[in-house]
Amino acid sequence: MSTHQNLFGGPPPTHLPDDPEPRELLASGAAPAEVAAEYPTSSLAWAQLADDAFDGGRVIESYAYARTGYHRGLDALRRNGWKGHGPVPFEHEPNRGFLRALHALARAAQAIGEQEEYERCAAFLRDSSPTAADILG
């Protein structure tokens, strides 16, 4: 038996390639808007913008930033073999930008009364990564 065989019968986990520049810039204190402008495909930068807007009471901005990060993340997942379902482990750091954007989208959707989208995004987050759902809330 191969040690790489998936015994559960589901798709293998998707691990996005590392993109350290946006992460390092954000960690060093760079403005998320500048990072998003320089690296517009970075879900992490958009997720940080969404978090900052939400924390500042700008829920509609948070929703828009989160939706952008979510869609950028879906594009990256698909480019890396994801077929619309299956695990996206939070433990793999490059996946965290997408998962944070998905969480931020759920949170903002709930805040504006978009209950169906909130439920869809919350379920998608839990299905993709129970760890992310637990950690992010």
Residue 5 has pLDDT above 80, yes or no: no
pLDDT tens sequence across 60-94: 999 999 999 999 999 999 999 999 999 999 999 99
Cβ atoms within 10 Å of 21's Cβ, excluding its own: 12
Q: Are 90 and 135 in contact (CB under 8 A)?
A: yes
pTM assigned to the model: 0.92
Q: Where are the alpha helices (DSSP H) in 28-129?
A: 32-38, 43-55, 59-79, 96-111, 115-128
Give CA 136 to chain center in angstroms. 11
Enumerate the domain spans of the chain. 39-136
Query: Contact, 86 vs 10, CB < 8 A?
Result: yes
Looking at the predicted structure, is the pLDDT value of residue 27 above 60? yes
Both tokens of 70, joined, read 């979510």
Give pLDDT, residue 1: 37
Q: Which pair of structure tokens corresponds to residue 94?
A: 């490059």
The span from the first CA to the last CA of the chain, in angstroms, equals 38
